[in-house]
Structure 1
């Protein structure tokens, strides 16, 4: 019995380790492929499934990528950072030697079921794939190659300044976009509390990096409690003043640890 329990525990530990590695959270290098989109100035990458809008204005610039279904996780990966290296052992022709690039997940690369996954349907499940902004891709790949094999791993996101909150929606629908998140970059849970509201209220992921609540909070100062995917939690107390209006953005002085 003891041996069976030990074997079961070992199998469970191995499964957990493999699951963590598949999520890119252990620092282990994993294999994928990468293409590019958006033009030489990355202007075609604006907007996207994470909801960040103008990536230049939000501070994400041209070091961004759209993730395939296997990596995007329904938007839960928005804001995560990945370090990529072109795999010269697999493809010495189109890989630039001795360089790497770090990108932030800002978009979703949808599957194309009409094309085989090895002949154009690069983002089809279960493939891990990065459709990178062209300037980021060209840091590691030769333009004429079009698609390159890469090795990648999750890394901490380094940001300047504090976490930022943009308030959108209307009276009973508060849609909050959270940007400039350091550390793991992605958000696990979020709560809101008004200055005249005694209790924290859970928010739900609406799409990408947008979270919503269905409570009338007009005219109240707002505080947010944000938990990122490595378990860190920060309370952004009164980060939004009572005079706020829909369409405004507010920067905090607080940031998550790397």
Structure 2
């Protein structure tokens, strides 16, 4: 009996260790979860431009038409901006409205607000606590039949795949730098961000202003800038002197570093 208990404890410890090791590093796809999905933005997805994540023109930023607005339950006050989700129409719940055997991967680029004037199961699709994707029409039509309008889906978070490194767009004015971070691979979303001017040796914390936009209230005009970025997988990259002295508001600076 004692030998059996020792073997069982050893096996359990091995399982726990394997699970711990598997959880370290890049985001692993989670299990499938249930939600619903609608679409917006027109057949060319032009109506999805802008949005609550602050990405602006999704075409020029590289997000294209594979994007979606997330309901309150998923949006997390903008902390989910940039995350990627694999979505399939749930044929077990609505076989007549699903295209079989296909999935589509989207990036979270917008917020789908609640509509408290409509019930959650009939129009108020983005009301808490419902997980819901209001997808760009071209992405939605990859998995659903157009006339359905609303379809049940299954989804999972997956790592984002991007070409090239992170990009930083600086807007604002003196004493207020508003930095948009785009083209983020792996987790896709940013947890913490810091800035250091070339006249300083100290990192200064930045705050999430809205969506994927982070701000600093320090006077950094005319200085070279470095950024230290931590994603929601707790991976950190340092972008040393990514912004040269003499930068102007409205400029974008591309790096060669990327999360993996």
Please indicate, yes or no, whether the TM-score normalized by the shorter chain is above 0.5: yes
Equivalence for 1:88 = 91
Measured at CA, do residues 135 and 26 of structure 1 come closer, stay the same or move farther in structure 2, by a change above 3 Å?
A: closer
Q: How does 1:13-162 map to 2 (within 5 A)?
A: 27-162=30-165
SS of 1:93's partner is helix
- Normalising by the residue count of structure 1, what TM-score does the alignment of the two structures yield? 0.90
Residues 1:245 and 2:248 aligned together: yes
Structure 1: 5+ residue runs without aligned partners?
Answer: 1-12, 14-19
Report the Cα distance in structure 2 between the residues aligned to 1:173 and 1:146, rounded to whole angstroms: 43
Q: 1:167 aligns with which of 158, 164, 170?
A: 170
Report the Cα distance in structure 1 between the residues aligned to 2:195 and 2:158, rounded to whole angstroms: 28
Report the Cα distance in structure 2 between the residues aligned to 1:201 and 1:37, rounded to whole angstroms: 39
- Normalising by the residue count of structure 2, what TM-score does the alignment of the two structures yield? 0.89
Residues 193-225 of structure 1, C-alpha deviations (whole Å, 9 max, x = no match): 001111000000000000000000011100000
Number of positions where the alignment pairs a residue of Structure 1 with one of Structure 2: 236
Root-mean-square deviation (CA), in Å? 1.4
Report the Cα distance in structure 2 between the residues aligned to 1:151 and 1:236, rounded to whole angstroms: 37
Contact conserved, 2:168 with 2:179, CA < 8 A, in 1? yes
Report the Cα distance in structure 2 between the residues aligned to 1:131 and 1:95, rounded to whole angstroms: 16
Q: CA deviation at 1:243?
A: 1.4
SS of 2:191's partner is strand
Contact conserved, 2:88 with 2:155, CA < 8 A, in 1? yes
Report the Cα distance in structure 2 between the residues aligned to 1:82 and 1:154, rounded to whole angstroms: 4
Structure 2: 5+ residue runs without aligned partners?
Answer: 1-15, 17-22
Report the Cα distance in structure 2 between the residues aligned to 1:38 and 1:88, rounded to whole angstroms: 25
Report the Cα distance in structure 2 between the residues aligned to 1:150 and 1:240, rounded to whole angstroms: 42
Contact conserved, 1:25 with 1:153, CA < 8 A, in 2? no
Report the Cα distance in structure 2 between the residues aligned to 1:243 and 1:70, rounded to whole angstroms: 42
SS of 1:98's partner is coil
Q: CA deviation at 1:27?
A: 1.1
Report the Cα distance in structure 2 between the residues aligned to 1:243 and 1:174, rounded to whole angstroms: 14
Report the Cα distance in structure 2 between the residues aligned to 1:162 and 1:238, rounded to whole angstroms: 15
